[in-house]
Amino acid sequence: MMDNSYAAIMARKNEIIKEAVGMDFEQFEKPGIGFDYEAMMAATGYTIDEIRRVQSLFSIGNTPLIELKNLTELARKCAPEGKGARIFIKDEATNPSGSFKARRACTSVYQAKKLGYKGVVTATSGNYGAAVACCAAMAGLKCIVVQECYDSKGVGQPEIIEKARKCEALGAEVVQLTVGPELFSTVLRLLEETGYFNASLYTPFGIAGVETLGYEIAEQFRAKVGKDPDVVVCTNAGGGNLTGTARGLRKAGCNAKVIAASVNLSGLHMASDEQFNKKSFTTGHTGFGVPYAVNPDHSDVPRSAARPLRYMDRYVTVTQGSVFYITECLASLEGLEKGPAGNTSLAAAFRLAQDMDRDQCIVVQETEYTGAGKHINPQLSFARKNGIDIRFGDPKDEVPGKNIILPAHPSLIQVTDLDLDHMRRSRIKRAVGTHKDELTDEDIRFLMEETNTDEEYVRGVVASL
């Protein structure tokens, strides 16, 4: 009998993934602490044009780029004279499954079909599971979605429960877990038992699929405005959204500043049973955004292709109340009703635009579908049932897990910068571990790439350890 204890399954991780992805990650490892990231990405075997062709087979991509003229005007009323950049949004909710994650799902499903796998398995809180289920249905493959759904009392958030229903409606088998550390080990066990393809969020196939989003932004913006955007804001959780978008922008020759945005949920532990239902967003928040930025490889693959610190120029947070407020603004001012989690970057962009000149442009690179449990009303009602105080006031007084403060006026929406220097130092410290005195020049170059810094910076951090 196979030992299926947590420790045993995690010890077999590399062998399981090798069989479940059709890729030997060990071939990219270097003698020191690093690995060849670009070689791993190239090993998918797909150019960006080929991925665009694949996505067109699933009716994915070429989503609208929309200028939010009314929201821009509101931002200008809150901004100093001469400030208030034009705000645009890439409407990814028009993809078949309702989010940008259709891009990363279809590349994995296509690869699974190409290699002869009978089905796919993925771990997700929802949107990605729906995307994989959607694409698997189109490709005629089986699909298993593993979802962290409930606390120990069997209580689940309305957004998570709705996304589980959507996965099932699209033909997937949904394996629901209570919050805890067993999510990835359950996926590994299922991969081993079924022989299915690992349609992970973190494989090179998934991240390469998001590159088309950045590439389209550059193409469409040039056609619409006649220049490149000045800033592209990406909602950041596990890092694949920002990584893929930034890589696509670069491949299109676009040097727009890339800003990450997350909801501030500091103080809430994502694996805490008690705190699981104290958060009103299931993704797009600091509980995923910060840990995955400084330690990207704690995922279900040996080396994650989502490495946002390589690409972000700035990292800001917004409050839950601000996101709910801007979601209502988008609906009432622009006639676009979208899911709150996808509007995290829009809330940030609304404030960032007020510091930019009027002839500048800022792009919010994703939206997500809304409905039932993903609408702000059930989310706020659920929060109230869990003892969260909901009121109007100044968002700066919001305390995650205790209250949600809706801005009394749009001018109160603010962003808070996270300390990128601290995050970069933390990434280097984690990578170096106890090998400080063994680092080679190649190790230093790897750390420079990982943190988007230079040799002087990396050597200075290493010397301070």
Q: Do domains 20-55+99-204 and 61-95+210-417 have the same CATH topology?
A: yes
- Tens of pLDDT, residue by residue over 340-352, are 878 999 999 999 9
Q: What's the CA gap between 445 and 203, in Å, rounded?
A: 23
Q: What is the mean pLDDT of residues 253-268?
A: 95
Structure tokens at 168: 């099932």
pLDDT at 175: 95
The model's pLDDT over 223-248, given as tens digits with 9 standing for 90+, comes to 999 999 999 999 999 999 999 999 99
**pTM beyond 0.85, yes or no:** yes
The Cβ of residue 243 has, within 10 Å, a number of other Cβ atoms equal to 30
Closest CA to 365 of 181, 213, 200: 213
User: Domain residue spans in the chain?
Assistant: 20-55+99-204, 61-95+210-417, 420-464
Tokens of 177: 């877990």
Decide: helix, strand or coil at residue 256: coil
Token reading at 335: 């006639």
Look at residue 248 in the predicted model and tell me its pLDDT.
98
210 closest CA partner among 139, 321, 128:
128
Here the contacts of 221-224 (C-beta below 8 Å, separation 24 or greater) are: 221/65, 221/88, 221/361, 221/363, 224/65, 224/67
Least confident piece of the model among 139-148, 267-276, 359-368, 389-398 = 267-276
Cα→Cα distances 269→127, 272, 308, 354, 456, Å: 21, 5, 21, 32, 35
Residue 297: CB atoms within 10 A of its CB come to 15
The string of pLDDT tens digits covering residues 309-339 is 999 999 999 999 999 999 999 999 999 999 8
Rounded Cα–Cα distance for residues 365 and 213 (Å): 8
User: What is the architecture, at CATH level 2, of domain 20-55+99-204?
Assistant: 3-Layer(aba) Sandwich (3.40)
What are the tokens at 161? Answer: 């429960």
More confident residue, 274 or 382: 382
**61-95+210-417: what CATH class?**
alpha beta
Distance of CA 273 to the CA centre of its chain: 23
By CB atoms closer than 10 A (0-12, 13-18, 19+), residue 156 is buried
Q: Are 297 and 307 in contact (CB under 8 A)?
A: no
77-91, 345-359, 431-445: lowest mean pLDDT where? 431-445
